[in-house]
Structure 1
Amino acid sequence: MKKGTAAVGFILGLLLFLSGDPICHGALQVGFYRGKCGFADVEAIVGGVVSAQFFTDPSLLASLIRLHFHDCFVNGCDGSILLDGPDSEKTASPNQSVRGYEIIDQAKDAVEKICPGVVSCADLIAIAARDAVFLVRNILLGFPLEQSGGGIYRVQTGRRDGLVSSADIANVTLPGPSITVPQAIAAFADKGLTAVDMVLLLGAHSVGVAHCSFLSERIHNFKGSGKPDPSMDQFTVNTLRSRCPINAIENTVNLDQNPFSPLVLDNSYYQNILLRRGVLQIDQELGMNRFTRPIIANLANSVDFPARFGAAMVRLGAVGVLTGTQGEIRSSCRVVNKAVNKDKSG
């Protein structure tokens, strides 16, 4: 058996084990699809799609985590970011660099072949994000199963898909890289999430990248001074300038400046912030703000970040969900069902 195939089998077995018996948490439920597709395990099917992508392009896994965040922050976790259209969320400025849509398409195709009209696109995003968290935490580190607890969590499902996708709403709702800490706290509070949740979820930056356009001002001409942001360590300034000269706005840099774990979900993101190596302005300000610095310091020196990150992802995944008779179950994640459109027009 090939090494990649064996690893995929291990992952699918683990995810099947973790789906366990149904557990209710409010409107959502762990194991919601258990028994709804015959003997097929929906989460294992999605896990197969995601893990296959892992061996092709590990960097896309961070994109799946980001896709989940960008979906939930606009109109709730309803899959609205997946809808195509000239004014859909996909076209919003903060979503221009979002990736991973084709992975959700592949997962949707796979589950539709087995049980059509049952699994929502919103749930596929949540399941894929959970699988990505597991992969970037454990497989890249080579942890055996008995040590892999950090970074895995039991994903809740039962969401239905939204019918509306608006670029205008996304543009004003999604936090930008220059947002202040008080503004970020307020934005997360509006979604029912705490300041601790915010700091934990921004820990996803330990596996992400940023285009140079988002940090060019910080390293070249901070607030029109012609100098870099004085809050950034000079070594980091020099490192980022070598990758992001003034006109190279499309280049990318790792948000985690630890060269040994740029694709691993760990707490080095917080350690770098304390060393004044935060890449985005909001990253560094988290370490300077009197309310969030103690949270950063705690996470930088703790071993339980992955588990706490997983719990925060569960809370994020419950934001503004549609359940019961709300919304729909799309046949394609990219379009609202034709029957719904007909009903709305008639």
Structure 2
Amino acid sequence: MKSYLRLLAALAALAFAVSARAAEELNLFGWSEYIPQPVIDGFTKETGIKVNFETYSSNEELLSKLVAGGGSYDIVQPSDYTAEVMIRQKLLAPLDLSKLPHLKNLDPEFTHCGHDPEGKYTVPYMSGTVGIVVNTERVKTPIKGYRDVFDPKFKGRIVVLNDNREIVSWALDTLNLPVNTITAANLAKARPLVADWVKLVKVFDSDSPKTALLNGDCDLGIVWSGEAAILWNQSKKFQYVIPAEGAHRFIDVLAIPAEAKNKDAAHKFIDYILRPEVSVLISDAFPYTNPNAEARKHLSAEALANPASYPKGGGKIETFRDIGKAAADIDRLVTDLKSAR
């Protein structure tokens, strides 16, 4: 009888363990068109952890949700300068590096950067630039910088990111003003340029700006480099240009909110992403610059030759930093000008 009861207890414990494993969930909040579904499915198959994936289209949307209460998310995917804000506001949990053995695969160029100098809170996911795409079959004049794109003759033929800070940074670069020191005087200087430029734009799209170029609605764009890389893979008529005035280089990272409920699963997912055989799947689907040095060894020669994924030459490259309350000033400026166009 005792043996029978012990057997029942063991079976009950096993059933509970299986049920708990099956019920474990990870809530991921990330950019749209950035994490391939097969990567998520592979993680679930290996660990039994279900991934609930919610997307956003701007860093501002992510930040506002985390400020309002980030306890519903276990992993977030901010850009570097937004991660810097989150660290300052104590919205992120320190990482347990002992649970991330595959950190060794990262290229040191992308670690311990300005947004997280000690590498305590973030892990690089993908990097890239914001640059110009030209349909060379329909645009025959040389395009080297922002002023070339925002020529009145291209009115109604331009797609740009729906990102206020990006748009203002292009004007600041054009005027040779700093993009990370935002003053009222500099915004006043940038305002006329931005006012003229937004009137020329046909499509504002941060989610999939390549679509307007692929379907022929637009002939020029200022887009994420990964979108430009996909266009180049589709047709070599789409050429990528690093603007002569300067281009923004970003590092998008993975981080764990301070209020996350499943930090252990979050560490498992991050380390899974850092495996070369997983990271290369991300590059295959979304060809940004991969900060995983071991994964890059598995990329094809054509992938490494993609001028948008791994650009050579061009103008100056700069990163964004936390600009504090000036972000709201930028939002007001661009929102006002868009509504008036």
Normalising by structure 2, we get a TM-score of 0.27
User: Which is strand-richer, 1 or 2?
Assistant: 2
User: Which is helix-richer, 1 or 2?
Assistant: 1
Larger radius of gyration: 2
